[in-house]
């Protein structure tokens, strides 16, 4: 398994992943992205999902942001969030010291199975980019766990 981080919009991320996937012999390629503001800026998430499907790349989208996945480790969340700031505010009520640059497995490890179940219930269809809140990170985590 190799992890490549590429900042940019979701469609740029998928283009980068496609280039890497075409040059290497990986069995799978995944992109992890947020909806955040990108969908309002020209439908970049929808474009990324379409491009990824055509290229055989998996996409794990979190709507509105990755922190939904983290929140699901601690509690269900079914009400839509206005933006990522609102999700982070809720997460900090549970984990006051939350800092996205310093994640601790200890804060989330015990809730992994619950997070997977809760995320599946939010959107089992794989169309996370159109449902708020939702996250497809559970599909990536499940794929990683199945490799062990």
DSSP sequence for 44-98: HHHHHHHHHHHHT-EEEEEES-THHHHHHTTS---S--SSHHHHHHHHHHH-TT-
- Taking the C-alpha atoms of residue 47 and residue 81, their distance in angstroms, rounded to an integer, is 22
Tens digits of per-residue pLDDT, 71-118?
Answer: 999 999 999 999 999 999 999 999 999 999 999 999 999 999 999 999
Tokens 């055989």, residue?
56
Q: What is the pLDDT of residue 1?
A: 52
Give the Cα separation of 93 and 122 in Å (integer). Answer: 21
Q: Look up residue 94 and give its two tokens.
A: 């549970």
How far apart CA 99 and CA 29 sit, in angstroms, is: 27
Task: Indicate if the alpha-carbon torsion angle 135, 85, 48, 3 is positive or negative.
Answer: negative
Dihedral angle of Cα 14, 20, 26, 27, to the nearest 10 degrees: 20
With beta carbons less than 8 A apart as the criterion, state whether 123 and 131 touch. Answer: yes
Average pLDDT of the chain is: 89
Whole-model pTM: value is 0.90
Predicted pLDDT of residue 128: 77
- What long-range pairs does 118-123 form, CB within 8 A, spacing at least 24? 118/72, 118/76, 118/77, 119/69, 119/72, 121/76, 122/72, 122/77, 122/78
What was the pLDDT predicted at 129? 81
Preceding peptide of 74 cis, ω within 30°:
no
pLDDT in tens, 7-36: 688 988 999 888 888 888 788 889 999 998
Mean pLDDT of 120-135: 86
Q: How far apart are CA 12 and CA 7, in angstroms?
A: 8
């Amino acid at each position: 398994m190799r992890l490549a981080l590429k900042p940019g919009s979701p469609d740029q991320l998928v283009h980068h992943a496609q280039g890497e996937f075409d040059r290497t012999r990986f069995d799978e390629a995944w992109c992890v992205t947020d909806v955040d503001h990108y969908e309002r800026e020209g439908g970049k998430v929808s474009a990324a999902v379409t491009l990824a499907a055509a290229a055989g790349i998996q996409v794990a989208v979190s709507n509105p942001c990755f922190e939904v996945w983290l929140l699901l480790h601690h509690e269900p969340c079914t009400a839509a969030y206005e933006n990522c700031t609102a999700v982070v505010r809720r997460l900090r009520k549970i984990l006051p010291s939350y800092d996205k640059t310093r994640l601790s497995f200890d804060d989330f490890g015990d809730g992994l199975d619950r997070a997977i179940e809760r995320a599946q219930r939010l959107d089992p269809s794989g169309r996370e980019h159109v449902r708020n809140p939702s996250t497809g990170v559970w599909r990536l985590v499940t794929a990683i766990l199945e490799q062990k």
